[in-house]
Amino acid sequence: MLAYAVRRVLYTIPVLLGVALLVFLLFNTVGEDPVRVALGRHATAQSIAELRAQWGLDKPVPLQFLDFLGQIVTFDYGVSFNSGEKLSKLFTQGAAVSLWLTVPPFVVGFVVNIAFGLLVAYYRGSFFDRFSTAILIMTMSISYLVYIIGFQYFLGYRLELFPVSGYEPGFEGLKYLLLPWLIILTVTAGEDVRMYRTMFLDETQADYVRTARAKGLSEPAVLVRHVLKNAMIPIVTYTMVAIPFLLMGAFLMERYFSLPGVGDLMISSINSGDFPVLKGLTMVLAIAYSAMVLLTDLIYAWVDPRVSLR
């Protein structure tokens, strides 16, 4: 087990290197040119050269990449071209907002959707099942953007149930998050419930379920006591891998509702070629993602020893 763990950890290193290379190549060589964005039409040959030098963009590309690798190792991604703020500060500020946006509906959604999935699996084939499935598919058939525009207009502006946009830190700020939360729950319900339903149904085909039923156990008991527990492995795997992306927030939501989160930060950085922020954000996300995958694999190996023998 230990050997497996060590191997797995070592394995993430080339992956992260690959990510760093990809990010570096993509944004240094293609993307926006931050110098031109900053200078606009007031650029002169001299000011372009001076700003490039100040931002270290005049160094040869391989050297810039080495610098970048150094930044990753020391967790110091430098300062944003746009605002001069340290990336760590930008990221923690933005992450606080993004997590407030994505985590509560994620948690609530998890509980609600599993419960609903169980229910639908229990009543499979019935009118309730088919009707719910139909409704869920319908909610999945509308674009995310349409939800945002529509809900903001109707629920925020016309019916005045929620504030249209805004953000405040702390408890008073909760009211600005309610509508975004509602949208996220609505958008993700369809996919999640049906995924859980499939996983539950898969489990109900297993032998141990037939045994339990043969023993006389009632169907709800079978579901909750056996199926739920066993289905949790694939469910948790599916869920855990989504967690790192919670950090990124939901950039569309953040733009429309004026929530200063990480997702919106990423999009504006792409638009203005703010390399330090882009590279820093993507690396942090990639590291978080690799960590989560690693964790999941290790838990899998611990739970199912056969895995580590490969």
Identity of the residue, 6 or 174, whose beta carbon is nearer to other proteins in the bound complex: 174
Taking the complex as a whole, the smallest distance from the CB of residue 93 to other proteins amounts, in Å, to: 8
CA distance 36 to 309: 55
Identity of the residue, 19 or 121, whose beta carbon is nearer to other proteins in the bound complex: 19
Closest CA to 277 of 60, 83, 113, 120: 83
Give the pair of three-digit tokens for residue 203.
């489990």
Taking the complex as a whole, the smallest distance from the CB of residue 124 to other proteins amounts, in Å, to: 11
Taking the complex as a whole, the smallest distance from the CB of residue 24 to other proteins amounts, in Å, to: 11
- Helix axis angle, 275-303 to 262-272, nearest 10°: 140
H and E: helices and strands count for the chain: 14, 0
Give the pair of three-digit tokens for residue 138.
């319908």
Closest CA to 307 of 200, 233, 241: 233
CA 39 and chain centroid, separation: 34
Identity of the residue, 44 or 74, whose beta carbon is nearer to other proteins in the bound complex: 44
Taking the complex as a whole, the smallest distance from the CB of residue 161 to other proteins amounts, in Å, to: 4
Sole residue written with tokens 């859980």: 196
Contacts of 112 (CB under 8 A, 6+ apart): 185, 189
Report the amino acid identity of residue 177: L
Identity of the residue, 6 or 142, whose beta carbon is nearer to other proteins in the bound complex: 142
Q: How many CB atoms lie within 10 A of CB 37?
A: 14
Identity of the residue, 64 or 186, whose beta carbon is nearer to other proteins in the bound complex: 186
Identity of the residue, 5 or 16, whose beta carbon is nearer to other proteins in the bound complex: 16
Taking the complex as a whole, the smallest distance from the CB of residue 105 to other proteins amounts, in Å, to: 10
Taking the complex as a whole, the smallest distance from the CB of residue 203 to other proteins amounts, in Å, to: 11
112-121 CB burial, b ≥16 within 10 A, e <16? ebbebbbbbb
Taking the complex as a whole, the smallest distance from the CB of residue 244 to other proteins amounts, in Å, to: 9
Identity of the residue, 64 or 260, whose beta carbon is nearer to other proteins in the bound complex: 260
